[in-house]
Amino acid sequence: MKAKVSIDKFVVEYADVPKSVYYALVSKAVKSGELCKQRLNYQGYGYQLHLRKVDGAYLHVFYRNWSEPEGMSYTLRLETRPEYYFHFKELLDALRRVASGIYFISCDIAYDVKTSMDNVLVIPQDGRRKLREFKGTRYFGKKHQRKTNGHCKIYNKQLELYENQNIVIDQELTRIENVFKPEKRIALAELLHHPPEQNKQYFAAVIMDWGSLPKKRADQARMLMNEEESKNVVTVKYL
C-alpha cells in the first residue's frame, strides 16, 4: 500500500535582517489587521508574532535569537505550511532584499496511509527511541524533543480532521509525521541536494493480513505497537 507524502510545516531563517525592517513589518501587520498576537522573549527569541490573513493563511515570525549579540541586525525565522508562504509574498520579497542569506531549518514530513492505525507498524532503528502514547497518538521522542530531528508521531488522521476541522472523510486514514531537521542549516537554494534519509531512522510497514505472518511475529508486531508491552519486546530487525 502506497503512502501519500506531504510537508506539513516548513521553517526557514533569514540572516542579518535589520531592526528597522522588522519594525516596519510589525507596523504594516497592525495596519492591515493581520497581526493576531505579539509576544516578547518567547521560545528562544526576543520577539514573536503571529500573522493571519482573512483566508486563513498564517505565519509565525520569530526575531532575534537569544544567542545573538547586541547589534543592528538579527536572525528572523518563519514557520508555516508550505502553501501559505505564497500568501505572504510581499513580506518575503522585502526580507529577501535585505537578508544576507536564506536557510532551511526544518520541516514536518507526513505520510498518509488509507488504513487503520491497527495495521501500521513503525519501529525505530535506534533502540533508544522509546514508544509513548497519549490520547490515542503514538510518539517516538519526548514532548520537549518535538522539534528535534527524527521525532515521530502516528495518529488517526480521519478522527483529527473531524475533531479539529469538522471535516468528514469516508475512509480510515493514518498519518505518520516525522521531523526532518539537519544538524546545520542549509542554504535554501541547495535544499534539493540534501534529501531526508528517514529510512535510516525508522522501519515502517502496513500489515493488512496479520494471518499471513507467523504467530510469533504477529504477536511481537502487535506488542511493538503498545507502549507498555513494547518495553518487554526484544526486536528483530524488520521482524
Region of 136 please: left (phi>0), alpha (psi -120 to 50) or beta: left
- Taking all residues of the chain, what is their mean pLDDT, rounded to a whole number? 90
For the beta carbon of residue 84, count every other beta carbon within 10 angstroms: 20
Nearest to 131 by CA among 114, 153, 116: 153
CATH 3.30.310.80 range(s) for the chain read 9-99
Distance CA 115, CA 3 (A): 10
| pLDDT tens for each residue of 112-126 | 999 999 999 898 888
Question: What confidence tier does 96 reach under pLDDT thresholds 50, 70, 90?
Answer: very high
Q: Report which of 196, 205, 156, 160 is spatially closest to residue 178, judged by C-alpha positions.
A: 196
Strands 101-113 and 73-80, sheet pairing: unpaired
pLDDT of 231 reads 65
Mean pLDDT of 86-105: 96
CA 113 to chain centre: 17
**% of the chain residues with pLDDT over 90:** 67
Mean pLDDT for the stretch of residues 208-220: 78
Question: Which residues are bridge partners to 50 per DSSP?
Answer: 37, 60
Determine the Cα–Cα distance for residues 213 and 206; give it in Å rounded to an integer: 12
What whole-number distance in Å separates Cα of residue 121 and Cα of residue 63? 40
Q: How far apart are CA 148 and CA 128, in angstroms?
A: 15
pLDDT, one tens digit per residue, over 134-170 is 899 999 988 888 889 999 999 999 999 999 989 999 9
Local confidence band at 1 (pLDDT 50, 70, 90 cut-offs): confident
What number of H helices and E strands is found in the chain? 5, 13
- Please tell me the predicted confidence (pLDDT) of residue 157: 95
Q: Are 114 and 44 in contact (CB under 8 A)?
A: no
Instruction: Give me 89's grid cell.
Output: 509574498
Neighbour count for residue 167 (Cβ, 10 Å): 10
Which whole number is the average pLDDT over 198-213?
84
Phi–psi pair at 117, nearest 5 degrees = -60, -25
d(CA 49, CA 53) in angstroms, rounded, equals: 13
Region 205-217: what's the mean pLDDT? 81
Q: Which fold has domain 9-99?
A: TATA-Binding Protein (3.30.310)
Residue 37 buriedness (CB in 10 A; 0-12 / 13-18 / 19+): exposed
This prediction has a pTM of 0.85
pLDDT single digits (tens) 14-41: 999 999 999 999 999 999 999 999 999 8
pLDDT tops 80 at residue 78: yes
